[in-house]
Chains A and B, each alone.
Chain A
Amino acid sequence: MGNCILTVDDSSTMRQMIAFTLKEAGFEILEAGDGAEALDRAKGRKLSLVITDVNMPRMDGITLVKELRALPEFRFTPILVLTTESGLDMKQKGKEAGATGWIVKPFSPEKLLEVVNKVL
């Protein structure tokens, strides 16, 4: 299994922060700016983890989780959603869509690694 993580966010700063942190920790990183692009990039690939924002243009994160779970190669892949503290029910929505867990924004690089370690 590859050591590749797909990070999906329309904010490039956020993608950079995630990519930087995870690359430092020895992961390979794929980036996508929204759900639709993520779905394109993910199809047919072996990924070890997907980290996605919720609010994005074209396709939101919750839909992305559902679409990924419908693909045979992503049925059991860990998926984390990025949510804000106020979005408590977003955790629930994410779970219902099939997300493995969540990271509450704002988060530190250490917290990111901690959560990634929890699901990998």
Chain B
Amino acid sequence: MSDPMEQFRNAFFEEATELADGMEATLLALDIGAVETEDLHTIFRAAHSIKGNAGTFGFPAIAAFTHQLESVMDPVRQGIRPMTSELREQLLQGVDLIRSHLHHARQGEPLPSRDQQAQDLLVERIRGQETAPALPPPAAPLPPAPSPSAATGFTVRFEAPREAFRRGVNLERIFRDLGRLGTLQAWPDASRLPGLDGLDPEDCHLAWDLRLETSASRAEVEEVFEFVAEGDNLQITPLTPAGQVPPLGEILEAEAGVSPADVREALARQKPLGELLVEAGKVKPEAVSRALDQQQKKRSQTDAATLRVSTEKIDRLVNLVGELVITQAMLAQAAQQAVHSTGEERMASALLQLDRQTRELQERVMGIRMVPVEMVFSRFPRMVHELGKQLGKDLDLTLEGQATELDKTFIEMLVDPMTHLVRNAVDHGIETREERARTGKPATGTIALRAYSRGGHIHIEVKDDGRGLDPERILRKAVERGLLPAGARPGDEELYLLIFEPGFSTAEQVSDVSGRGVGMDVVRQNIRALGGRIEVDSRPGQGSTFRLVLPLTLAILDGLTVRVAEETFVFPLASVLESFQCRPEDIRTVKGDREVINLRGEFIPVIRLQRLLDLHAGPDQESGGRPLLVLVEAEGRRAAMSVDELLGQQQVVIKSLETHYRRVEGISGATILGDGRVALILDVPGILRLEAGAALAQA
């Protein structure tokens, strides 16, 4: 077993990262003119929690730094010091430094000196403001700070189980333990006692209303009731948090000793809003119940309980289920014949059920790996905010479909390409203030990120309402750079895709923000590596949309299955451009034994898979001696690969070859087909690199 402290540390890093993210999000959402006190508390608490945990788990440097952030926030949340946009920027910088701290502490490294200097500077500036006249000392007495007695804690309604005494439960202990958590007020409720004739003295009929002022968590309070809670006999309700106005009943309980049971009874006589509106004939009952449903749904979305599990465990599960699906398919195929010959119907229906259940199991298990796209989107509000400031553009960022789920692996691999697209949209897409004013557009430019699933794929869009791509300029550049022959005029959509070619850039001014046009080709490469593609829509003067189309998961691949000799291979569909037949004489030999084909004026190398993979000749081609070629593209290279037969398109579950055998040049993995046979998945970029290397060696 690994060191338990190690596990605590991992939990600390995760939690601290989340807290830093939350701090950042709250800071960005602050409306400096009208700050919500609760937001200030949230920011303070984040710094405070990181500080406390960092101290416990042995990261004194993090504790010391977050202590500074906490101290600067303390007077702010108390209303003694104002929140300013300057302070916001400083705290945002603080968040960055916390992240850097966490990152390096995780690697066991000290904070790099650059960040250390930045931290020292920041602390100095923050401290300076603390003492400097950030706020002139008020002549009039300070407005009343939130009452120090403002309590946190819970009200508890507890009905003892009837058999409590007979189970040896000592109810006194419950009150003793609660009393240890804080200040306890109790109102016994004997109203459940039956009349004397129905009374069994060994039954327990007592109930209590309790008010506990405590800093303990709900879980700690629940823990006290562990042995006597059974579903609905225990209700724990948080007291109104400090800084918010408690309801009248709560004040009366605390100050005037009114029992919660009486308050409850009085409240019960109040009618719900929906009922009153229905009675008044203002709304139909169905509309009320629909609204309630909607509210309930929102509620359950927000309190969805979660459990942390290591990705490694999940991956093992995913693999195992993959195997199970294959075994099930083999079993089904083998059993089908038996069922046919014996007419055993029970077996047939059981098999059908097994089939359904394994499929559902697979879907569910794959679903565990899925995380909301919010995890990528959430970094952009900050980035767009910064970029806007840097470039002097007013920007509005809208996020849509944040709950759309994606394979976890994608999330990490999407960050770079999306960052690039967003930077481009801000830098090149959105016009300058002057230009927008000239063309009568609203001064604030809009960037929209949108995610949704469609047809077994996830679509992610980066959209701006800027100037749009200029087809004529792209055409000019493409010809200049030799990407198109002079005089060619492809359609706009084809032109747009040229911006993803290596070394293409249309920005007249090279800027700090999005560099020199290196990058768009990297974006496309990254997306292709995920088995996806990019689409571009653009209208001059109205803006552009870049759409990433991704498969649902990395573990499954859209493949083109082909036969070469007697073996079955799978091409990832994302790298296949087309397949076609040619005449044998279309393939020409150049430079010894290298072969090329002239395809619409372009010479493309031909790769004989049978030769490359060293396979014995198989059955004759069904194509009647006319070579069958699959045109593929990866990393900007193209080639035509000769195969013997196209078998079909299907989704395959990817298995690593390395873990089961060893790494094989030109093969990226394996899959097991429905009939139990193994098919190898071709590593198209790898093969193209092999081919390019061989060509070079020969030249």
Report A's interface with B, CB cutoff 8 A: 69, 75-79, 95, 98-102, 118-120
Contacts and interface: CB of A to CB of B under 8 A. Distances in A.
Q: Which 3 A-B pairs have the closest CB atoms?
A: A101-B227, A78-B168, A100-B168
14 contacts: A69-B166, A75-B166, A77-B168, A78-B169, A78-B170, A98-B163, A98-B166, A99-B167, A100-B227, A101-B169, A118-B173, A118-B177, A119-B168, A119-B169
Given A77-B168, A118-B177, 8 more contacts: A78-B168, A78-B169, A78-B170, A79-B167, A79-B168, A100-B167, A118-B224, A120-B170
B165 interface: yes
Contacts of B109: none
Interface string B157-179: 00000010111111001000100
Given A118-B173, A118-B177, A119-B173, A76 B166 contact: yes
Nearest to A98: B167
B179 to A, nearest CB: 14
A46 to B, nearest CB: 14
A86 to B, nearest CB: 15
A98 B163 CA distance: 8
Contacts of A120: 170, 173
A112 B393 CA distance: 63
Contacts of A102: 227
Contacts of B168: 76-79, 98, 100, 119
Contact of A76 (B165, B173, B177, B226): B165
B170 to A, nearest CB: 6
Nearest to A101: B227
Contacts of A101: 169, 226-227
B681 to A, nearest CB: 39
Interface of B: 163, 165-170, 173, 177, 224, 226-227, 230
A95 B173 CA distance: 18
Contacts of A69: 166
B167 A95 contact: yes
Contacts of B165: 76
Nearest to A91: B227
Contacts of B177: 118
Contacts of B170: 78, 119-120
Nearest to B230: A95
A95 B230 CA distance: 10
Contact of A100 (B169, B224, B230): B169
Contacts of B230: 95
A6 to B, nearest CB: 13
A78 B173 CA distance: 12
B177 to A, nearest CB: 7
Contacts of A78: 168-170
B159 to A, nearest CB: 16
Most B-side CB within 10 Å, residue of A95, A98, A118, A119:
A118
A76 B177 CA distance: 20
A104 to B, nearest CB: 10
B4 to A, nearest CB: 11
Contacts of A95: 167, 230
A86 B669 CA distance: 38
Nearest to B224: A118
Contacts of A77: 168
A73 B45 CA distance: 53
A38 to B, nearest CB: 16
A119 B227 CA distance: 9
Nearest to A97: B167
B181 to A, nearest CB: 13
A18 B170 CA distance: 22
Nearest to A77: B168
B208 to A, nearest CB: 18
A98 to B, nearest CB: 5
A7 to B, nearest CB: 16
A67 to B, nearest CB: 14
B131 to A, nearest CB: 46
B186 to A, nearest CB: 18
B671 to A, nearest CB: 35
Name, among B167, B173, B177, B224, the residue most crowded by chain A CB atoms within 10 Å (CB to CB). Answer: B167
A100 B166 CA distance: 9
A100 B168 CA distance: 5
Contacts of A98: 163, 166-168
Contacts of A100: 167-169, 227
Nearest to A79: B168
Nearest to B227: A101
Contacts of B169: 78, 100-101, 119
A59 to B, nearest CB: 19
A69 B226 CA distance: 21
B166 A118 contact: no
B360 to A, nearest CB: 23
A102 B169 CA distance: 12
A101 B167 CA distance: 8
A95 B231 CA distance: 14
Contacts of B173: 118-120
Most chain B beta-carbon neighbours within 10 Å: one of A69, A75, A76, A120: A76
A99 B169 CA distance: 9
A70 to B, nearest CB: 11
A116 to B, nearest CB: 11
Nearest to A100: B168
A53 to B, nearest CB: 18
A79 B227 CA distance: 11
Nearest to B228: A101
Contacts of A76: 165-166, 168
A75 B169 CA distance: 11
Contacts of B226: 101, 118
A119 B166 CA distance: 13
Contacts of A79: 167-168
B683 to A, nearest CB: 43
A43 B74 CA distance: 62
B161 to A, nearest CB: 8
A119 B226 CA distance: 11
